[in-house]
Chain A
Amino acid sequence: MPERVTVTVNGARVDVACGSTVAVAMILAGQPCRASVNGESRGPLCAMGICFECCVAINGVPHRRSCQVFCENGMEVRTDG
């Protein structure tokens, strides 16, 4: 069994495999990553750092590309925007 890490997404605890990106935690939490200019919910598209649809706030820092950041125990993640 691979090790697990726990983060919070919009306040709720999410348990993911060690080495998962924050984008994965957002999908598992069933939460959108960001709200678009017109308020639509958006989630990851490219998973390689180019589309910026996966931007979230991580530990209070906004606009972080969640597909490029690994989950760490205790990380606080929030939907961006």
Chain B
Amino acid sequence: MAKFDRARFDVLVIGGGPAGLAAASRAGQHGATVGIVDDNPKLGGQIWRATCEQEHPQTARWSEQLRRANVTVFAGTRVLHQIEPGVLLAEQMQSAHELRYDKLVLATGARERFLPFPGWTLPNVFGAGGLQAMVKCGLPVIGKRVLVAGSGPLLLAVAAYLRNCGARILMICEQTSARALAQFGLSLWREPAKLAQAFRLKKDLAGIPFATRSWPVEAHGSEALESVAISRGGKGEAIACDYLACGFHLIPNTELAALLGCTIENGYVSVSDLQETSVPGVFCAGEPTGIGGVELALIEGQIAGLVAAGQIADARQLSRQRRKALCFARGLEQTFKLNPELQKLAKAETIVCRCEDVTYSRLRPYHSWTAAKLQTRCGMGACQGRVCGPATQFLFKWNPDSVRPPIFPARVESLALRATAATNS
């Protein structure tokens, strides 16, 4: 039988990745009652995702701090909706929760950007982080032939991880140019920690062909993936493989921030240097404020947690570190900007909206996302435009429209339970 619970916190944190873990533990250390919510069945977010065998050591370290600070953890729980200002509705597999807060920290992270090309809907075409997550969740890849493609530093991390798990990485196709990468590489000298990370990866990646200005053109296969045609610096090549791991850098998860009315600029949640959003009492930390990697997420999370718990002087001590990490984030954005050539990958019959099977040629006549949605159902399916929204933004320059609740498809009973609870109280 499904049940309905209520809880109240001084500080409520949404997202259990590095930013959320840092925010919750810092707020909790200062005596606030704190709750942390994550959709995943285990804490850690993307980078510290648990494997089948064990929790990531970093997650374990932060979780210990959460325990010491008496933080309440809601894992496998997703926030769907704002019932009224200061009250969120969340659901678990068998229950719904009404979560009240004084201060809210949004640490909802990022997802991969996917771009449509012929065959990208075939089974065994994954996101790059997607395949990595599947392997962490038990998929064996020993001896599997994997092509890694798309854009961003994530490709390198994924290739290194998969190779260590026994996969044969055939090639890494990066869409950006060697020149942009070289410029970025130079700027790394100012960031010793990042440089060390890059060198470690370089050893893990030794011998894997790394092709710039390269991307998948078509994935082939009858029931599932068999081979991928790529464009390698302008020349065509065919690569037989078992899995394609393909993602074009990251897109911040700003849906919840948008629903709460936080100002969003150029796709990112606007924040002050104390991580305050435009809505009083609502903070944002980590990837939604700009794609900046784990170091920036940790710094921003700590600042948000401290300020939410009233520790402004402590938070200000992190300002210098924050500014440095922000420079790195800006460099990332410049370096991995998408090549306009990628707009030509989708052909007339290529599916753009996977939930509703809407093709490129059906979308082409429209001038806005809203019109296309109404006429073709593009973006109206279960993912609510999380996959096709960023793709159509790149393909057609459409702007996303306003976010409507619930921000994930809810079970009807979650909404009904809340209504019943409200009438009974």
Contact = CB atoms under 8 A, between A and B. Distances in A.
A45 B53 contact: no
Contact of B134 (A18, A30, A44, A50): A44
Contacts of A32: 123, 223
B279 to A, nearest CB: 24
A24 interface: yes
Nearest to A33: B123
A44 B387 contact: no
A42 B383 contact: no
B138 A24 contact: yes
A51 B386 contact: yes
B357 A37 contact: yes
A42 to B, nearest CB: 6
**Number of chain B interface residues as a range:** 35 or more
A68 B39 contact: yes
Contact of B356 (A20, A37, A55): A37
Residue in A36, A42, A43, A51 with the greatest tally of chain B CB atoms within 10 Å: A51
A2 B387 CA distance: 35
Interface string B138-156: 1100000000000000000
A36 B386 CA distance: 17
Interface in A27-46: 27-28, 30, 32, 36-38, 40-46
Contacts of A28: 139
Contacts of A74: none
B133 interface: yes
Interface in B22-41: 39-41
Nearest to A21: B137
A24 B132 CA distance: 12
B127 interface: yes
Nearest to A52: B382
Contact of A41 (B46, B131, B133, B223): B223
A46 B130 CA distance: 4
Nearest to B354: A53
B283 interface: no
B381 A52 contact: yes
Interface string B242-257: 0000000000000000
Contacts of A69: 41
Contacts of B78: 49
A56 B52 CA distance: 21
Interface of A: 2, 16-21, 23-24, 27-28, 30, 32, 36-38, 40-53, 55, 63, 67-70
Given A27-B124, A46-B112, 15 more contacts: A20-B52, A27-B134, A36-B121, A41-B223, A42-B354, A43-B123, A45-B387, A46-B127, A46-B129, A46-B387, A47-B130, A48-B133, A51-B114, A63-B382, A68-B41
